[in-house]
Amino acid sequence: MSALPERSLVLLVEDDRDVRLLFAMWLRDAGFRVDEAHNGHQALDRAIEVLPDAILTDLHIPGIDGYELTRRLKSEHRTRTIPVVAMTGYEPFTQDPSRADRAGCDAVLAKPFQRDDVVTLLRALIDEARGRRTA
């Protein structure tokens, strides 16, 4: 796994409190700093305020869903380069998996997934985004 030059900040967006606590623990144990949001509107505000290194969002969240959240993040100049990883166990996703791509998601993880899967993916996307910023 790559060594991050600093503790990267991940904005975790999940409306299920128990799932959010589990994922936050996974991320902190892997060395990330974690900020949390429980709905799409709160996530949009937090992303603009804290400018995380990556965003891990459920697609099926209250307020604005993860698709719309991603569209708005990718259209905002302050947040457009932040990698967005969508996670879902939501059935309609399987009927149109390209919808997340069209919204601007950088990657999608289908629940359930393993901790190492999300950690490895986040590290790779953060490293890639940092490389684009310094190039």
pLDDT at position 36, please?
A: 98
Q: Is the pLDDT of residue 4 over 60?
A: no
User: Where does the pLDDT of residue 123 fall: very low under 50, low under 70, confident under 90, or very high at 90 and above?
Assistant: very high
Peptide bond before residue 92 is cis, with ω within 30 degrees of 0: no
Token pair in block for residue 25: 């623990």
CB-based contact 84:108 (threshold 8 Å): no
Give one word for 96, left, alpha or beta, with left for phi > 0 and alpha for psi -120 to 50: beta
Q: Is the pLDDT of residue 56 over 60?
A: yes
Q: Domains in the chain, ordered, with CATH?
A: 9-130 (3.40.50.2300)
